[in-house]
Amino acid sequence: MTPRTNCPCGLPQPYEECCGRYHSGPATAPTAEALMRSRYTAFVRLNAPYLLRSWHPRTRPADPLDLDPGMRWTGLEILETGGGTAFHSAGTVTFRASYKGGAIHERSRFERVDGAWVYLDGEFIDD
């Protein structure tokens, strides 16, 4: 039996009970922050189909994503959220995603499309 590890998104649940349920099934992230966490985990797990599926139709890349299997993500820190709950149609999540050799600091924007949260776009923040 393999030991259960926490989800890469930083929450204490195992992957299958956390972001995995959004990646594999009909469940959708209930908040913009949950979607952000699930997208980070999709980068960690090289899950390009989920990244594209959770991207806003207006801003989704037309070409397939070319994820780098050599990239080693090391942690996600949520710094601030705005809106993005069940009571909103838009929201922002400011985060720092660390990888071996650096970090990405971004403020991402999310919107609801047909009731589901999707990633719209983001702006990098200089540290």
Percent of the chain with pLDDT over 70: 97
**What number is the average pLDDT over the span 25-39?**
95
Residue 8 · residue 97 · CB < 8 Å: no
> Cβ-count burial of 70 within 10 angstroms (0-12 exposed, 13-18 middle, 19+ buried)?
exposed
> Cβ-count burial of 41 within 10 angstroms (0-12 exposed, 13-18 middle, 19+ buried)?
buried
For the entire predicted model, the pTM comes to 0.95
Q: How many CB atoms lie within 10 A of CB 64?
A: 9
Determine how β-strand 73-83 pairs with β-strand 116-124: unpaired
Q: Give pLDDT, residue 37.
A: 98
Average model confidence (pLDDT) across the chain: 95
Residue 3 has pLDDT above 70, yes or no: no
**What number is the average pLDDT over the span 14-29?**
94
Q: Give pLDDT, residue 5.
A: 82
